[in-house]
Amino acid sequence: MPKRGKKKEENGSGDEAGEPRPAKAAKASPAPLYEDPPTREATPDGRRWTLKVTTWNVDGLRAWLRKGGAQWVQEEAPDVLCLQETKCAVSAVPAELRALPGLPHQFWSSAKDRPGYSDCLKTAPKPTRNCPEIIDLCHPRANRASAGFTPQERQGFSRLLEAGFVDSFRHLYPEARGAFTFWTYRGAAQGSDHCPVTALLAV
């Protein structure tokens, strides 16, 4: 009596009855690695940028300052600085931030009933309009019930776009794949959406 392994070899199958094994499904090719596009310092018609806007979800203003946040802002030298999730009430804003050179106009938004919860700051050399934070994430179908991507929140973002706000990255790079603005810690990511983004505008 042939060994079981021999029989498999003879009939070309792992099935003793000689039935062929079903073909394995081809593995999906991984998404291409994202690389930052080159910095655009001029418009398509050749106009050089005249306004630098920087936004950063700092996830805690005081910790951000201890890590050199104010020094980074001075080196980056934005005309407009927007900080999200400062977690700092207006009355507790450190003097170090109040005294940032070139950004005398500071506009704070803080939760009325929960001081220090999230909050945001916008600083500029002159008054400017609102700068919303829009979360763009992968696998939308699987995240329909996730915080930050619920139907109600997406409807709110849609109203912002309808009002004339622009997703600047998707406008400039509509075909970019693997580029998103939020990475959850639950997926073993290291940074969430806590990274600075700077836009150079010709106005």
Q: What is the pLDDT of residues 139-177, one digit of tens each?
A: 778 878 877 778 888 888 889 889 988 777 777 778 877
Q: Does residue 121 lie in a domain region?
A: yes
Q: Does residue 122 lie in a domain region?
A: yes
Which residues have CB under 8 Å from 92's CB, separation 6+? Answer: 116
User: Does residue 105 sit in helix, strand or coil?
Assistant: strand
Q: Does residue 66 lie in a domain region?
A: yes
CA distances from 128 to 124, 181, 187 (A): 7, 24, 36
Counting runs of H as helices and runs of E as strands, what totals does the chain give? 6, 5
Give the model confidence (pLDDT) of 29-59 as tens digits. Answer: 565 566 777 888 888 889 999 999 998 888 8
pTM beyond 0.75: the answer is no
Domain limits for position 57: 49-132+194-203
Domain at 199, CATH number = 3.60.10.10
143 annotated to bind ligand: no
130 annotated to bind ligand: no
Q: Does residue 141 lie in a domain region?
A: no
